[in-house]
Amino acid sequence: MKNIIIITLSLLTSSQLRAQENKFLSDFVERLENSRKYLLLVADMMPEEKYDYKVTPESLSFSENLMHIGFALDWHSQSLLGGREARVYQTDTIFKPANKTKDEMMVRIDQTFSEAIKLLQEFDANKLDDHLDYFGLERSKRQISMLLADHITHHRGQMLVAMRLNGLTPPRYVLYQ
């Protein structure tokens, strides 16, 4: 009887942990969906003729920030979480704004979010505790996900400053993105 109780408790605890992991993934997917909507609003509100605007000479331009978000989203999701070989930022053309219209950049960003969300919806929650080298630091795939969200927010914030400096009022902030 004692063994049955221990096995039952072990199975319950294991099931609860899996449910928590799946909840993390579903919460994170919701966050990415909201982040996508807000980022696309920001990108749409900036006039195309201002896409090359830089807050300072050493800053990324509005379009470079937008496409850098896409590159990082692709790298964190597809390469770090999904295991696909990483693109090389210096030679990549998919996520460089050169020769791309505003609409083309927005389509690329939207598609990249869709790909990341699909990967996360199919992601094995048991792998969230797998660890990777992240710029010399050991980080779990769960931490990689959170770093991705921070990175999007960081560069989107730079885009919002560019909008303000061009006399534009960014879209109202929506929580949980």
Pick out the residues of the known binding site for a divalent metal cation: 68, 151, 155
Contact 144, 81 (CB under 8 A): yes
SS (H, E, C) 112-129: HHHHHHHHHHHCCHHHHH
How many whole angstroms separate alpha carbon 103 and alpha carbon 157? Answer: 21
Q: Are strands 137-140 and 131-134 parallel, antiparallel or unpaired?
A: antiparallel
The secondary structure element, H or E, covering residue 133 is: strand 131-134
Going by the annotation, the residues of the binding site are 68, 151, 155
